[in-house]
A and B are shown apart, each in its own frame.
Chain A
Amino acid sequence: MIGRFFATIGRFVLDGLAGAGSIALFALNILSHLVRPPFYWREFLQSVLQIGWLSLPVVGLTAVFTGAALALQIYAGGARFSAESVVPSIVAIGMTRELGPVLGGLMVAARVASSIAAEIGTMKVTEQVDALVTLSTDPTKYLAVPRVLAAVVSVPFLVGIGDIIGIMGGWLVGTERLGFNSATYLKNTWAYLEFWDVGSGLVKGAVFGFVIAVMGCYYGMNSDRGAQGVGRATKTAVVAASVLILATNYLLTEVFFSS
């Protein structure tokens, strides 16, 4: 009984390590293709449109409501020790350092990792990926590289735009609900915001973009047969991307701000 328990744990650990190694090799393979021709520009631009432009509404809506709620929370919390005036600066710092990149990344993960995994998974089970090979086209180079690069480029832009919209959500609530003067609110927002507050969030966005696209491509490429296989690949891609975003966010925050 105890032996079987440890065997199960051992198998689970070994499977996990094998999976992590396989994903790491896949990611390294993508990176190596970035510096080797050919590069599929048309697929890259299409991916920028899909990942970046078409994710703007969901990222914008997430940011505006997050900024608005953050302003209310900080105001309510700050009122306990007469620090209501910190609302603009805390909203700005909170949005740019943490909430903008993390929530934006999670929303893009839900939208993009699922879409990439489902699309490539369907191509896998309908032999379209095999067809690429027979047409002298490397599936990793053709399917994964443009998507990963597009995500690395697009997600920081989405985060930047989300930061602005989130801060404006806080400003809207601050001026309309909490009685802040508009000019003072904006002045305080700028006064305490540093370049690295925004820059660190954009770097996080690029890393999250890489994580999202790699997870989508990896699970799509390794999808099992049939509709159930594609469904499982899609679900796993979103879960893995979300967990990795939260984990890498902690690591990056340690690296950027622990000192």
Chain B
Amino acid sequence: MIEIEGLKKSFGKKVVLRDVNLKVAKGESLVVIGGSGTGKSVLLKCVLGLVRPDGGKIRIDGKPVDGAEREAFLARFGMLFQGGALFDSMTVWQNVGFRLLRGSTRRPKDEARAIALDKLRRVGLGPEVADLYPAELSGGMQKRVGLARAIATDPAVIFFDEPTTGLDPIMAGVINDLIRSIVTEMGATAITITHDMISVRAIADKVAMLHEGRVHWHGTVAEMDTTDDPYVDQFIHGRAKGPITALR
């Protein structure tokens, strides 16, 4: 469903993506791992059109993603940002119902609020938080609201950017379980980027490791645990010594 072919991106002299090739099948949950600064976020932003790639092709359902095609893609897309990226001038339910209050998916206000409350319930938040502002919520609650916003219009594709960063282990586990169950129930195609190996095991059908601007390794979670690739082995076990230099 999502095909990335020969993707390249540099910022000045710094080459971030050299030649990324990746396919994500419909309904598959792919987790992209890799060290800090290896271009995981840039990869997602290229797919979304937030960053213009220097070369390569991105296709969704076989069609190149540009112009009107990207708009059509975004209309059935949801994303959970690392920091939540909630609009702090809006209440929680207005954040969740942002898409339902505007544009082509616009609904009457009462209906939008009802859907927003339902999505909040889906991520374990009650109606008492609906009229609060994001600044009044804890980090974990903000992540859940971000998740509710991402699934508000039942998207076919969801991206998760570092979904558990900054959360305590229990809240991270809750978010991981939520992501897994939402992706499974909705049958959505998901791409997650994370450093958190617990998240990888909880969320992933397939894993891709980015290293030096390329997809260094690609396989299932079971294959990841048994691979003899020294890069993957060093990364998943968090070893300071190995082929990946610790200082970049």
Instruction: Spell out A's residues near B (CB within 8 Å).
Output: 38, 40, 123, 126-128, 130-131, 133-137
The reply to whether B85 and A136 form a contact with Cβ atoms under 8 Å apart is no
Within 8 A of A (CB), among B29-73: 45, 48-50, 71
Q: Does B184 contact A (CB under 8 A)?
A: no
Take A133-B49, A136-B74 as given contacts and tell me if A127 and B83 are in contact as well, using a CB distance cutoff of 8 Å: yes
The reply to whether B81 and A127 form a contact with Cβ atoms under 8 Å apart is yes
Secondary structure call for the B interface: mixed
- Bound Cα distance from A126 to B45, whole angstroms: 15
Take A127-B82, A130-B50, A131-B81 as given contacts and tell me if A137 and B102 are in contact as well, using a CB distance cutoff of 8 Å: yes
Q: Does B216 contact A (CB under 8 A)?
A: no
Chain B residue at smallest Cβ distance from A119: B89
The reply to whether A136 and B99 form a contact with Cβ atoms under 8 Å apart is yes
Residues of A within 8 A of B81 (CB): 127, 130-131
Q: Does B79 contact A (CB under 8 A)?
A: yes
- Bound Cα distance from A134 to B48, whole angstroms: 7
Residues of A within 8 A of B235 (CB): none
Chain A residue at smallest Cβ distance from B77: A134
Take A136-B71, A136-B74 as given contacts and tell me if A130 and B99 are in contact as well, using a CB distance cutoff of 8 Å: no
Q: A134-B78, A136-B104 are in contact. List 13 more A-B contacts (CB 8 A).
A: A38-B103, A40-B102, A123-B87, A127-B85, A130-B45, A130-B85, A131-B79, A133-B50, A135-B99, A135-B149, A136-B99, A136-B103, A137-B102
Question: Nearest chain B CB to A122's CB is how many angstroms away?
Answer: 8
Question: Nearest chain B CB to A120's CB is how many angstroms away?
Answer: 11
Task: Count CB-based A-B contacts (< 8 Å).
Answer: 47
- Bound Cα distance from A123 to B89, whole angstroms: 10
Take A38-B103, A136-B103, A137-B103 as given contacts and tell me if A131 and B85 are in contact as well, using a CB distance cutoff of 8 Å: yes
| 8 Å CB contact of A131 from B87, B102, B103 | B87
Residues of A within 8 A of B50 (CB): 130, 133
| 8 Å CB contact of B83 from A126, A133, A136, A137 | A126
Q: Does B129 contact A (CB under 8 A)?
A: no
Chain B residue at smallest Cβ distance from A123: B87
Q: Does B93 contact A (CB under 8 A)?
A: no
Residues of B within 8 A of A123 (CB): 87
- Bound Cα distance from A126 to B83, whole angstroms: 7
Q: Report 9 cross-chain contacts, Cβ distance below 8 Å, ordered by A residue.
A: A38-B103, A126-B83, A130-B48, A131-B86, A133-B49, A133-B74, A134-B78, A135-B98, A136-B103
- Bound Cα distance from A131 to B50, whole angstroms: 10
- Bound Cα distance from A127 to B87, whole angstroms: 10
Residues of A within 8 A of B87 (CB): 123, 128, 131
10 smallest CB-CB distances across A and B, nearest first, come from A131-B85, A127-B85, A134-B79, A136-B74, A127-B81, A128-B85, A135-B99, A136-B75, A135-B98, A130-B50
